Structure 1
């Protein structure tokens, strides 16, 4: 009876949330019943109870050890089987979780209440979805469900995935990510969740985060990182926690005199455990020799990680998110990137990385750390310590020195953009004047590219680089303070549309898949379509520009293209968060909208998304309130 009293004490401590003390009681209980030879069922109960306490402390490896001991004695012990599934889920070994839940539903269905069956089915489906994410990079099911029924609390949580990339050293002892196979636009590279994420408050009315807030953000991120590292050291038996230590250690580098294993550790340390072969899912002897184990994760070391690896995400009017990522932090920047990033607004602020250009095996992968559609001086101001040496930056640096008119235009572009917040306070006459100045500057850019001896010899894509640098002139035309009025002439509207489309073409050369490009084109198209009927605009060339221009739409059959987009079961890729906002705001219904306008807006947005993303259409979405019949007719639901 003494043993049962101790188990009761352990249960009481567990019920009060004192899990460590409960574990000590269960350990004593196991020792006593083992000595007393009190029956296998009591020993099984002790190990199973202790496993549950370990689960509450997120010590999944220890929990798994206990349930394995319990199942060695009683392979059919239901609670131990369920807790084994929970431990494996905590260790992110979803393949085994799927196997266990299938076995439970097949072999124990008669012993389960209906509520348990529903719970197990839900857990099975969740594990299967996560297994497909981590091993196969299949996110369509989760993303589709999100677009069908958008969650007001943000995007769903996503598991990490590592595809055809590897870490290598590059010049100056830096690291970079490289492609391990030939890539086409749209190919999934990897998916990363933040190691730590904190919300930083912004004072009301501030346009940018203040210096004080930045300092607060660094301390918040540092404190979170310390907690993560301490938890990892407390759970070194858990390989996923060991991975975290290696990642943080790598982000604190590079180390000029360190061994290669420290600067460029194996991709095994970045790959989700579930995607590793079974023999590599546990700590092994070589892991224990990794420099991380001997490293001192001091305050200064972690501060290096925070200072060098912060990512800032725009939040709402009250705060913004700041986080640290592993693999994304090791990819280098370029102002002509070959990788596009989709940010999902969930708790971990998931980032999805896809190739946006064709990439050869062995080529380095780059993405843009900041807005690259601005003058060189402004781009360098984003990260003063970062000096991009891509071909675009080198060319622009040379041309700005050789062509004074180009330098003057870039200065004017930056000046206008800085004054943007004050445009709403100008008189109507001053606004019109500023708008005309932007249009004049846009035309001057084209004139320079055609007539200046230094610029006219540039190749087509190099001219697009220059256009993209001065794209803010186009963006200012869409500013509410400077945009065309509702009663503007159709010729003026069409002229502006052509300017915006030319801007998008240039932006696409620099960075296919740019959210800024799609935001510009969708805003312009939405405004014009909502103000005018198609019949009114057709005589002015709208149909030619938007619906049959093959260089933009790349489709001979508008109806069939839309049908393919909306058809159930089509392959779909996740839209960036900013794009989803453009889509839903553009197609929002109002009493004054005619049905065909909404349909045309939807079709156009999808086509523009395809155009902006890639040479060939790879982005397809399903619009929840639009149905397509067998004869390709559209009906609003």
Structure 2
């Protein structure tokens, strides 16, 4: 056996194997790789060391290196079961799902008479998983119940340390998907964007994209956010950590540099030259993040309830999703919407789309004021949004702007602050109504763009409840629902439908209440899994399950009101 002298002690390849195993068991996979590598230098064809190093590479997501090791191992020992098993896992990591299935099926046959139950069970489990990934990537068919279960389990954190309870947190093990009906094209005045190649129905799943890299709010070393509104840049620990992780990933996997470097990095960064696609430029990465980041979590109850004051709930984190970065923005008139579950982004059509149409989503809510949207979009490098809402905001006279600002920033908040006073004043209803009517009058030709009266209308609906006039409150909430539904504000439609159901329940009209509760369930579930095709009870069971997982507070309220 080959040996090496270290600190007056002769170390053998097996010594390095044992040392590597210790590091592996302590989850220090990089150190384990170093130890196994030292052993392999002594015995280049040691199948056990090669197979062990392959497993360490798998844990580091270095799948190409893992395959290189197992192929050398299998060349010298073709029937090495663990090497074959790890090759299947590495192929899955490289998204070569059918190749992985072939390897694992062959291994499964070899294992039929094996007495090693552990690797036999692992092979069967990995084969099923590879088949699931292949089906997802080929057909865009996902088990959303399973995905939500996985997410709700992995999002849990230790209440003291704020570390994940489950390994790497809500990074989900599912495949990417891209429909063949869309493509990236040049878009006049916008650079590149996604365009429909043919007509696409409403509710169609266009793509599922796993984050290239993501940092959740509790993972950054610090928790602060500093926005420079002059230069429109954001400096957060989350973004700094994201840039560092992307750079480190590209150093290890240089073959991924091009897909990152091709993303828009702002006018101040020159176009790619011949050498840049394979280089790791930290400044460019920071600019790419600035213009292309998405927040990493949707604010469901399951996240809000984790821990009051937790960094995970205070900072929504940030991630880089490659293909979704090519969607251009509009504050209004969007035709696709995104949903983030863990590190996976699901993008569906929210309107019918015709061949040749550009696919548009929004990066910030139209409920915000023009100034808030201007700054928020500036953080993404969007200096001059040309949507109908922004054009209207810019075109209004100073007199109109000042009056709207006075209503929305001063008069409205003053009134709503008294809404829950012990001694309710019924005159509040008339005063709120006057403000809402004035906002409508100021935009009487553009009522479909009067987003900012939403909060005042919600307050008016509550004021009617406090005054004991449930019928009037119901009418206001129905008006809210119709508005947000038309505007495709899915984050508001489920709540509005639930509020309608609640008011019907308080009026004792349980038939209507349960019908609107069904509407609320669909508004919750359909952005996740698409349009329900069944009108029996199966859709309701699935929708209710998703709602219980993601919005337990709403479901609890529905039970208390007799809606379930």
TM-score interval (norm. to shorter): 0.7 to 0.9
Correspondent of 1:504 among 476, 481, 503 = 481
Aligned-pair distance for 1:83?
A: 1.5
> Aligned residue for 2:195?
178
Aligned-pair distance for 1:496?
A: 1.8
Aligned-pair distance for 1:183?
A: 1.5
Q: Distance in 1 between matches of 2:201 and 2:56?
A: 48
Over 3 Å counting, the alpha-carbon distance change for 1:308 and 1:80 in structure 2 is same
In the TM superposition, 1:30-49 aligns within 5 A as 30-31=43-44, 44-45=47-48, 47-49=50-52
> Aligned residue for 1:247?
260
Instruction: Give the RMSD, CA atoms, in angstroms.
Output: 4.3
Correspondent of 1:10 among 13, 16, 20 = 16
2:318 matches 1:323: yes
In the TM superposition, 1:60-79 aligns within 5 A as 60-79=63-82
Correspondent of 2:494 among 518, 537, 546 = 518
Aligned-pair distance for 1:110?
A: 1.3
Aligned-pair distance for 1:53?
A: 4.3
Q: Distance in 2 between matches of 1:366 and 1:178?
A: 9
Aligned-pair distance for 1:3?
A: 6.8
Correspondent of 1:196 among 204, 214, 217 = 214
Aligned-pair distance for 1:216?
A: 9.5
Q: Please tell me whether the aligned partners of residues 340 and 355 of structure 1 are also in contact (alpha carbons under 8 angstroms).
A: yes
> Aligned residue for 2:357?
363
Q: Please tell me whether the aligned partners of residues 477 and 499 of structure 2 are also in contact (alpha carbons under 8 angstroms).
A: no
For 2:215, what is the secondary structure of its paired residue? Answer: strand
In the TM superposition, 1:369-388 aligns within 5 A as 369-384=363-378, 386-388=383-385
Q: Please tell me whether the aligned partners of residues 195 and 357 of structure 2 are also in contact (alpha carbons under 8 angstroms).
A: yes
Q: Please tell me whether the aligned partners of residues 478 and 496 of structure 2 are also in contact (alpha carbons under 8 angstroms).
A: no
Over 3 Å counting, the alpha-carbon distance change for 1:509 and 1:138 in structure 2 is same
Correspondent of 1:90 among 90, 93, 101 = 93
Q: Please tell me whether the aligned partners of residues 51 and 70 of structure 2 are also in contact (alpha carbons under 8 angstroms).
A: yes
Over 3 Å counting, the alpha-carbon distance change for 1:575 and 1:475 in structure 2 is farther
Q: Distance in 2 between matches of 1:48 and 1:110?
A: 22
For 2:316, what is the secondary structure of its paired residue? Answer: strand
> Aligned residue for 1:534?
509
Q: Please tell me whether the aligned partners of residues 368 and 452 of structure 2 are also in contact (alpha carbons under 8 angstroms).
A: yes
In the TM superposition, 1:284-323 aligns within 5 A as 291-293=276-278, 295=279, 297-298=281-282, 300-312=283-295, 313=297, 314=299, 316=304, 317-318=308-309, 319=311, 320-323=315-318
Over 3 Å counting, the alpha-carbon distance change for 1:161 and 1:248 in structure 2 is farther
Q: Please tell me whether the aligned partners of residues 33 and 53 of structure 2 are also in contact (alpha carbons under 8 angstroms).
A: no
For 1:598, what is the secondary structure of its paired residue? Answer: coil
2:563 matches 1:598: yes
> Aligned residue for 1:495?
472
Q: TM-score, normalised by structure 1?
A: 0.67
Q: Distance in 2 between matches of 1:97 and 1:420?
A: 63
Aligned-pair distance for 1:290?
A: 6.6
Q: Please tell me whether the aligned partners of residues 333 and 367 of structure 1 are also in contact (alpha carbons under 8 angstroms).
A: yes
Q: Distance in 2 between matches of 1:122 and 1:544?
A: 41
Correspondent of 2:236 among 209, 215, 218 = 218
Q: Please tell me whether the aligned partners of residues 518 and 540 of structure 2 are also in contact (alpha carbons under 8 angstroms).
A: no
Q: Please tell me whether the aligned partners of residues 197 and 355 of structure 2 are also in contact (alpha carbons under 8 angstroms).
A: yes
Over 3 Å counting, the alpha-carbon distance change for 1:339 and 1:191 in structure 2 is same
Q: Distance in 1 between matches of 2:43 and 2:152?
A: 46
For 1:175, what is the secondary structure of its paired residue? Answer: strand
For 1:361, what is the secondary structure of its paired residue? Answer: coil
Aligned-pair distance for 1:82?
A: 1.0
> Aligned residue for 2:178?
162
Q: Distance in 2 between matches of 1:421 and 1:216?
A: 32
> What is the aligned length?
502
Q: Alpha-carbon deviations, 1:541-562, whole Å to 9, x = none?
A: x68996999xx99xxxxxxx99
Q: Which stretch has the larger CA shift, 438-447 or 323-332?
A: 438-447
Aligned-pair distance for 1:356?
A: 0.5
Q: Distance in 2 between matches of 1:510 and 1:427?
A: 36
Q: Please tell me whether the aligned partners of residues 338 and 348 of structure 2 are also in contact (alpha carbons under 8 angstroms).
A: yes
Q: Distance in 2 between matches of 1:418 and 1:497?
A: 22
Over 3 Å counting, the alpha-carbon distance change for 1:409 and 1:224 in structure 2 is closer
Structure of greater relative contact order (alpha carbons < 8 Å, 6+ residues apart): 1
Q: Distance in 2 between matches of 1:66 and 1:543?
A: 62
Gaps in structure 2 of 5+ consecutive residues: 5-10, 24-30, 156-169, 524-531
> Aligned residue for 2:27?
none
Q: TM-score, normalised by structure 2?
A: 0.75
Correspondent of 1:471 among 430, 435, 454 = 454
Q: Alpha-carbon deviations, 1:177-206, whole Å to 9, x = none?
A: 22233211111122233322131699xxxx
Q: Please tell me whether the aligned partners of residues 19 and 57 of structure 1 are also in contact (alpha carbons under 8 angstroms).
A: no
Q: Distance in 2 between matches of 1:544 and 1:23?
A: 63
Over 3 Å counting, the alpha-carbon distance change for 1:581 and 1:85 in structure 2 is same
Aligned-pair distance for 1:397?
A: 4.3
Q: Please tell me whether the aligned partners of residues 203 and 348 of structure 2 are also in contact (alpha carbons under 8 angstroms).
A: yes
Q: Alpha-carbon deviations, 1:494-528, whole Å to 9, x = none?
A: 222122212222222222x52112212313422x2
